[in-house]
């Protein structure tokens, strides 16, 4: 039913015209059947046969049109609903609290919004035909009732018995579909690991062999599950078909034996029952697609629930002209929950204040809590105790979006895109100035609102990321180990030229750094240790110590 819960939101609204078309197509199915049955009774009447042939051809023509309209309308509507769902999940991911989105994970999100919704889309046409098939079966049974009440009882009796027999099969198929879904997830995770570490696998044969053995085991378990599903499906299909044959045999053998129905009626009833073979087989055959779509819908709804967020409306930020003097954390804590009760880590309670226009370095050992601290300051990790405040005013849940608007950030695992999605106006030469400052003008230009290329070295990509961040023209720039990928020459340039350049333009800089040779470039150094903060006094570099050999990179 999860599938219907999803489709009901959009695709199944104002469904009446579609249902009418389905019933019309089913009624035309019935017209085909009755014209054939009437023809059976008029085999010795050439004029009557001609008239019935015209009725048959006209019904077939109209059925084709009604069926076509219904399929097109349903498919258009459902595909539109799926297109909305695809982007909706991305909107929810963007709107969700970061820990929730991170707990779901980008690969699961991509899987659900991509291939799994695709499964749902592929099931749509068969589902629409199944709906029309149900209507056709109901109308044929009604027609059968006009021929013989006993015939309907016989067909119905066999269908119910068959339904009970295949019911267990259906439950097993649904359970197997879940297992297959998990096995597919495990295999795609192993495949991703291998594809992400091709270089390492080439360099270490043991690693390659173990990783491939692991993937093979997953593929084998998927094969077994799929084989079990195939065997169960064949059982389900044959029982369904046998049920149908039994219903037909019931009319031919049972109806004249237990009632005094005349031969002509038995033949017509048998023919009517035979006529519903196609819709019955259609429904039976479409069941695996329905199960896959149902499983995909369940994963979709589960991810949606885990994100806990309503889709984000697309609104532009309100710009950078934001007057504030201080941003502070007061007695603030955030706890990483860890997995299964182990590996939890708490940052805080911490007190820190960032003055507007200052340069703040956050230093400390690996795993001390530096990145977590800046995520708290950015309002990306919700402060669980204490407060995040601007000019002494607490930032509540409603103010978080506006608060985040103050920052541009280059994270340590930043992903640089060619398109400058976040950039403000680009027509005043600032972009060119930045390309020169970051020494990237001979490699990259800006064309429209995009870099001409991002196919660059790691350090160069980081420079582009910094340019993109500065083009957002936010008052606060946050950098997480930005200089780690830079050469000694450019690292020096960053701390000795670029940071003063930013400060001179009034940009507040908060940088996580391990570069102890340049700690003096900060106004304030906050040392993080096991989730707590110590404020250190920064000192100017002693005079007379020569700089290391820092030649510009020849590019």
Ligand X SMILES: Nc1ncnc2c1ncn2[C@@H]1O[C@H](COP(=O)(O)OP(=O)(O)OP(=O)(O)O)[C@@H](O)[C@H]1O
| Binding footprint of ligand X on the chain (CB under 6 A) | 102, 336, 338, 345, 364, 366-372
DSSP string, 395-464: --GGGHHHHHTTEEEE-TT----SB-TT-----SSHHHHHHHHTT-TTT--EETTEES-----HHHHHHH
Which of residues 351 and 391 has its CB atom nearest to ligand X in the complex?
351
DSSP label at 467?
A: H
Q: Which stretches does DSSP call E strand in 467-513?
A: 476-480, 508-512
Which of residues 136 and 378 has its CB atom nearest to ligand X in the complex?
378
Which of residues 91 and 370 has its CB atom nearest to ligand X in the complex?
370
Paired with 510 in beta bridges are 360, 478
CB of 336 to ligand X, least distance (A): 3
CB of 470 to ligand X, least distance (A): 23
Closest of 487, 455, 485 to residue 554, by C-alpha: 487
Is residue 173 within 8 Å of residue 229, measured between CB atoms? yes
Which of residues 29 and 513 has its CB atom nearest to ligand X in the complex?
513
Structure tokens at 266: 């038995």
Is residue 139 within 8 Å of residue 125, measured between CB atoms? no
CA distances from 208 to 95, 187, 195, 217, 220 (A): 39, 16, 11, 14, 18
Which residue stretches of 261-320 are H helix?
Answer: 263-275, 277-307
Which of residues 66 and 380 has its CB atom nearest to ligand X in the complex?
380
DSSP label at 523?
A: S
CB of 291 to ligand X, least distance (A): 35
Is residue 553 within 8 Å of residue 443, measured between CB atoms? no
Structure tokens at 552: 């510009």
DSSP label at 342?
A: B
Q: 2-8 long-range contacts, Cβ below 8 Å, gap at least 24?
A: 2/294, 2/297, 2/298, 2/300, 2/301, 3/120, 3/123, 3/290, 3/293, 3/294, 3/297, 5/297, 5/301, 6/81, 6/85, 6/120, 6/297, 6/300, 6/301, 7/78, 7/81
Residue showing tokens 């104002």? 14
Which of residues 141 and 536 has its CB atom nearest to ligand X in the complex?
536
Which of residues 347 and 470 has its CB atom nearest to ligand X in the complex?
347
CB of 347 to ligand X, least distance (A): 7
CB of 383 to ligand X, least distance (A): 15
Which of residues 237 and 345 has its CB atom nearest to ligand X in the complex?
345
Which of residues 191 and 414 has its CB atom nearest to ligand X in the complex?
414
Which of residues 156 and 345 has its CB atom nearest to ligand X in the complex?
345
Which of residues 348 and 369 has its CB atom nearest to ligand X in the complex?
369
User: Strand 450-451 relative to strand 508-512: parallel, antiparallel, unpaired?
Assistant: unpaired
Does residue 349 have a cis peptide bond before it, meaning omega lies within 30 degrees of 0? yes
CB of 104 to ligand X, least distance (A): 12
Phi, psi (degrees; rounded to nearest 5) at 347: -100, 130
First to last CA, the chain: 60
CB of 447 to ligand X, least distance (A): 35
CB of 73 to ligand X, least distance (A): 46
CB of 343 to ligand X, least distance (A): 6
CB of 365 to ligand X, least distance (A): 7
* Distance from C-alpha of 189 to C-alpha of 488, rounded to nearest angstrom: 38
* Distance from C-alpha of 469 to C-alpha of 407, rounded to nearest angstrom: 9
* Distance from C-alpha of 438 to C-alpha of 428, rounded to nearest angstrom: 17
CB of 379 to ligand X, least distance (A): 16
CB of 373 to ligand X, least distance (A): 7
Neighbours of 29 (CB within 10 A): 26
Which of residues 99 and 185 has its CB atom nearest to ligand X in the complex?
99
- In SS3 terms, 212-277 reads as HHHHHHHHHHHHHHHHHHHHHHHHHHHHHHHHHHHHHHHHHHHHHHHCCCCHHHHHHHHHHHHHCH
Is residue 327 within 8 Å of residue 509, measured between CB atoms? no
Which of residues 206 and 415 has its CB atom nearest to ligand X in the complex?
415
CB of 361 to ligand X, least distance (A): 13
Which of residues 102 and 198 has its CB atom nearest to ligand X in the complex?
102
Strand order in the sheet with 524-529: 407-410, 476-480, 508-512, 359-364, 524-529, 532-536
CB of 213 to ligand X, least distance (A): 29
């Amino acid at each position: 039913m999860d599938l219907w819960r999803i489709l009901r939101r959009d695709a199944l609204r104002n469904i009446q015209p579609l249902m009418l078309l389905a019933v019309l197509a089913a009624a035309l199915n019935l017209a085909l059947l009755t014209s054939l049955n009437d023809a059976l009774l008029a085999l010795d009447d050439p004029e009557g046969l001609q008239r019935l042939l015209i009725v048959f051809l006209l019904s077939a023509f109209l059925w084709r049109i009604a069926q076509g309209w219904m399929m097109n309308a349903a498919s258009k509507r459902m595909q539109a609903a799926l297109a909305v769902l695809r982007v909706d999940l991305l909107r929810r991911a963007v709107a969700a609290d970061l820990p929730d989105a991170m707990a779901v994970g980008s690969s699961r999100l991509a899987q659900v919004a991509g291939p799994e919704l695709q499964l749902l889309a592929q099931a749509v046409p068969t589902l629409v035909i199944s709906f029309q098939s149900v209507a056709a079966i109901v109308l044929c049974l009604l027609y059968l009732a006009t021929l013989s009440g006993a015939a309907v009882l016989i067909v119905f009796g066999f269908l119910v018995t068959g339904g009970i027999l295949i019911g267990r099969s259906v439950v097993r198929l649904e359970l197997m579909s879940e297992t297959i879904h998990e096995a597919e997830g495990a295999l795609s995770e192993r495949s991703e690991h291998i594809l992400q570490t091709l270089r390492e696998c080439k360099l270490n044969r043991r690693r390659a062999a173990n990783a491939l053995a692991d993937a093979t085991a997953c593929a084998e378990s998927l094969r077994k599950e799929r084989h079990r599903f195939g065997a169960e499906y064949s059982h389900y299909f044959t029982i369904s078909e046998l049920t149908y044959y039994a219903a037909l045999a019931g009319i031919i053998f049972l109806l004249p034996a237990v009632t005094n129905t005349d031969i002509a009626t038995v033949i017509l009833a048998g023919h009517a029952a035979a006529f519903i073979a196609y819709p019955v087989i259609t429904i039976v055959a479409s069941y695996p697609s329905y199960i896959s779509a149902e499983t995909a819908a369940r994963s979709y709804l589960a991810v949606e629930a885990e994100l806990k967020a309503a889709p984000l409306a697309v609104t532009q930020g309100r710009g950078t002209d934001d007057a504030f003097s201080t941003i502070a954390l007061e007695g603030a804590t955030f706890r990483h929950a860890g997995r299964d009760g182990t590996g939890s880590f708490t940052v805080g309670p911490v007190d820190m204040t960032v003055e507007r226009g200052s340069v703040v370095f956050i230093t400390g050992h690996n795993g001390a809590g530096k990145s977590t601290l800046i995520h708290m300051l950015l309002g990306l990790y919700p402060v669980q105790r204490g407060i995040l405040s601007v000019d002494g005013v607490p930032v509540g849940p409603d103010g978080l979006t506006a608060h985040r608007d103050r920052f541009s950030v280059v994270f340590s695992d930043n992903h640089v895109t060619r398109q400058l999605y976040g950039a403000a106006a680009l027509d005043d030469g600032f972009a060119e100035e930045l390309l020169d400052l970051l020494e990237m003008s001979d490699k990259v230009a800006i064309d429209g609102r995009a870099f001409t290329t991002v196919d660059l070295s790691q350090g160069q990509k980081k420079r582009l990321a910094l340019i993109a961040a500065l083009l957002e023209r936010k008052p606060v720039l946050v950098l997480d180990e930005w200089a780690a990928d830079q050469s000694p020459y450019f690292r020096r340039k960053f701390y000795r030229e670029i940071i003063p350049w930013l400060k001179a333009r009034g940009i507040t800089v908060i940088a996580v750094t391990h570069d102890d040779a340049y700690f003096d470039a900060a106004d304030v150094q906050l040392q993080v240790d096991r989730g707590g903060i110590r404020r250190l006094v920064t000192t100017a570099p002693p005079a007379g110590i020569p700089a290391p050999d820092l030649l510009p990179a020849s590019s």
